[in-house]
Amino acid sequence: MTLPPASFTNASRLFAGRGAARAPASGERAVRKMLIVPLLMGTLPPAAAQQTAQDTLAHCESCHAPGARGRTSATPRLNGQSYDYLVGRLGAMTSALDQSPHSLQVMWSNAHRLDDAARRRIARHYADLPADKAVPGPQAALGRQLYENGLPDEGVTPCRSCHGANGEGSDAGPRLAGQRKDYLAEQLWAFNLVARVHGPMNHTAMQLMPGQIDALASYLGGE
């Protein structure tokens, strides 16, 4: 059973004011600095740091791996992802209120270095790559039930209503089929603990038990 990463628990306290006061760890200090300094100064990172999309691709691959298939649970697979979703997420990465701890520490500064045209070129590059296929795991049966039916008693709509009948994505939500299983689980925990902010997904994830999070990742994830 996947348990919520400690970094998400700490981040939920940082954003929502939960938990007892304590000295922040070095990672949290970095996050707070990135959040507070631009807000106080009313500025964004220097425009002089703008990069072209082509120059950035090699940098992207240092975390997302060649072919954008991801290296760790913190880095999603981008290959075959919806173009519109990728453009939107790169734009959202400039908002400090819509991020997991990893995104705040890494993607926030990277996204600010890209202008709109560069974001679109990067999105097109990754959207045109062949997508991974889902490889159902041992808990896939429960995951499929949750994906197709939701949790009606808790007011949770079926996942397919936004993410497509087979997790292929739609105008309303990103592609999930073939995504890293560990990444899917970690993002559901991030939404559950409000370490990543998106109203509908926060509501959905808060209704899920740990075993249900694992089951959804088992059903949708790739190898």
Predicted local confidence at residue 183, as pLDDT? 92
Please count the other Cβ atoms lying within 10 Å of the Cβ belonging to residue 170.
Answer: 16
List pLDDT tens digits, range 127-185: 999 999 999 999 999 999 999 999 999 999 999 999 999 999 988 899 999 999 999 99
Specify whether the CB–CB gap between 185 and 76 falls below 8 A.
no
Dist CA 30 CA 86 (whole Å): 26
Dist CA 77 CA 126 (whole Å): 9
Q: What's 47-127's CATH class?
A: mainly alpha
Residue among 120, 69, 65, 53 at smallest CA distance from 91: 120
Predicted local confidence at residue 71, as pLDDT? 83
Bridge partners of residue 173, in order along the sequence: 170
Q: Select the more confidently predicted residue: 19 or 222.
A: 222
Residue among 23, 25, 31 at smallest CA distance from 6: 25
User: Hey, what CATH topology would domain 140-220 get?
Assistant: Cytochrome Bc1 Complex; Chain D, domain 2 (1.10.760)
CA angle at 61 for the pair 123 and 6, rounded to the nearest 5°:
95
Predicted local confidence at residue 96, as pLDDT? 66
Locate the domains of the chain by residue range: 47-127, 140-220
List pLDDT tens digits, range 65-77: 888 888 888 889 9
Predicted local confidence at residue 14, as pLDDT? 37
Residue 53 has pLDDT above 60, yes or no: no
In the chain, alpha helices (H): 6-16, 26-41, 53-64, 83-92, 101-105, 107-112, 116-127, 140-149, 160-163, 181-192, 199-206, 210-220
List pLDDT tens digits, range 6-17: 555 444 443 443
pTM of the model: 0.74
Dist CA 91 CA 5 (whole Å): 26
Torsions phi, psi of 222, nearest 5? -100, -175
Predicted local confidence at residue 97, as pLDDT? 63
Query: CATH topology of 47-127 equal to that of 140-220?
Result: yes
Specify whether the CB–CB gap between 195 and 82 falls below 8 A.
no
Dist CA 157 CA 183 (whole Å): 22
Name the one residue in this structure whose structure tokens are 């105008």: 171
Residue 25 has pLDDT above 60, yes or no: no
In 19-72, alpha helices (H): 26-41, 53-64
C-alpha distances in Å from residue 73, one per residue of 52, 56, 180, 187, 217: 27, 21, 7, 9, 12
Predicted local confidence at residue 72, as pLDDT? 83
Q: Select the more confidently predicted residue: 126 or 74.
A: 126
Residue length, the chain?
Answer: 223
Predicted local confidence at residue 78, as pLDDT? 95
Predicted local confidence at residue 23, as pLDDT? 39
